[in-house]
Structures are given as C-alpha cells and as structure tokens.
Chains A and B, each alone.
Chain A
C-alpha cells in the first residue's frame, strides 16, 4: 500500500504571512492524484487543492498553491496571506489512478496567530 508522510505535526504562522506544509509519499505507480484536505475543529473535511501526477504545472487555488516534485515524491502546500479561518488540520492524500483507493497522512495542525 502507498504511504503518505507528513513530518510536521504542528505548524504556526502569523496572520497575513506565508506558510508551507510538507508531504511526501511512497509509490511505484506513475499515474495518481494528490490532494490536500482541510479539517477545521469539529467540522467536516473539505478539499483544498488537487494535483494530477501527469501534469507538470503546479496547481493553484487562490491563496493556496502546491509544489509538486514527482521525482522526489514530494507535494507541499503553500498558504499565502494566511487568515484566521485557515486554522485547521491539513491532510495530504494520495489517490490511486485505478481502484480509487485514498491514503491519508497523519495531518498537520496549523495555528494562525493574530
């Protein structure tokens, strides 16, 4: 099974600053999808951003962008102009191209300091 590693259990950032959350994964597959999910306290998990492995261009969604390094099997999330509402657990997830299985990392708890 694929493994997803998030080496930063906790991170903090000053409001309006930029923070980068790290994620690495282990796979022998060449085609797959990667996701970042956000889970606010006691609220449901929602998609932040996705990346198709066959695309070289890094995905961007407003203040959220990724740095996808396929050879290094690295998929980091950058949050620019951090806001108080960004405080949450962030999970990196790997999805197989076929079979549709998802594998999650252990999460990074992000604190935004006013």
Chain B
C-alpha cells in the first residue's frame, strides 16, 4: 500500500515570496490533515478536511495560508506571503474512518524562509 506522498521535500524562499505544498493521502482515506511542526515542537494542526469539506481550520492563519482539497483526494497548502516564522516542516497526514483510526504521515515538506 502506498503511503502519504508529499512534495517538495525541501523549499527555500525569501520572505514575502509564495510557496505551495502538495499532498496525496493513502487511497480511500477520507480525512486529510495539514500540520505545522516548528523545530523542537509538536505538530500543530493547521487544517483538517473530511473528503473535500473543511472540518477544522481554526488555527490556520487565513491572511497568508490557504488550503484546498479538490475532489476529496489530494490537497495543496499555500503560503503567500511567507514570513520568517513560517520556517517549519509541513506534515500531511491522513486517516481512515470510522473507528480508532491512526494518523498516517508523509515525510513532510521542510520550508526555510530567509
């Protein structure tokens, strides 16, 4: 079974530039999550999708971050314009419902903002 795919793995940009990250969850997983993990901290949920609908985006900085999940499969997370404090690893995860579904994580996209 293929895992959660993310790209790019690494991205370096200047502040005020834009960046986009892509995620393809495990086939059949209805729930998709984007987490931000700053070095030395635990993952912080940015947005959670159930199929192509948003379940929770309360911690998404909507003035600069946006995310979509068209057709309920893959998803894109965009940052525009980027700030220095956006430097982090952006983790995508998916889970299968219903039941005590665990999260399956991708390898993450490491963003450095200079």
Residue tally, chain B, CB below 8 Å to A: 24
Complex Cα spacing A101 to B57, Å: 11
Q: Of B42, B55, B107, which contacts A44 at CB under 8 A? A: B107
User: Number of contacts between A and B (CB, 8 Å)?
Assistant: 52
**Which residues of chain B come closer than 8 Å to A102, judged between CB atoms?**
33, 45, 103
Q: Chain B binding site: helix, strand, loop or mixed by DSSP?
A: loop
Interface pair B107/A33, CB less than 8 Å apart = no
* Residue with the highest number of chain A CB atoms closer than 10 Å, among B42, B48, B106, B108: B42
Residue tally, chain A, CB below 8 Å to B: 24
Complex Cα spacing A92 to B41, Å: 12
Q: Does B14 contact A (CB under 8 A)?
A: no
Interface pair A104/B43, CB less than 8 Å apart = yes
Complex Cα spacing A69 to B59, Å: 30
**Which residues of chain A come closer than 8 Å to B108, judged between CB atoms?**
44
CB within 8 Å for A104 and B42 given contacts A35-B102, A45-B105: yes
CB within 8 Å for A107 and B105 given contacts A33-B100, A102-B33: no
Interface pair B101/A100, CB less than 8 Å apart = yes
A-B contact pairs, 11 of them (CB 8 A): A35-B102, A44-B105, A47-B103, A50-B102, A91-B42, A100-B48, A100-B55, A100-B101, A101-B55, A104-B42, A107-B41
Residues of A within 8 A of B (CB): 4, 6, 33, 35, 37, 43-47, 50, 52, 91, 93, 95, 99-107
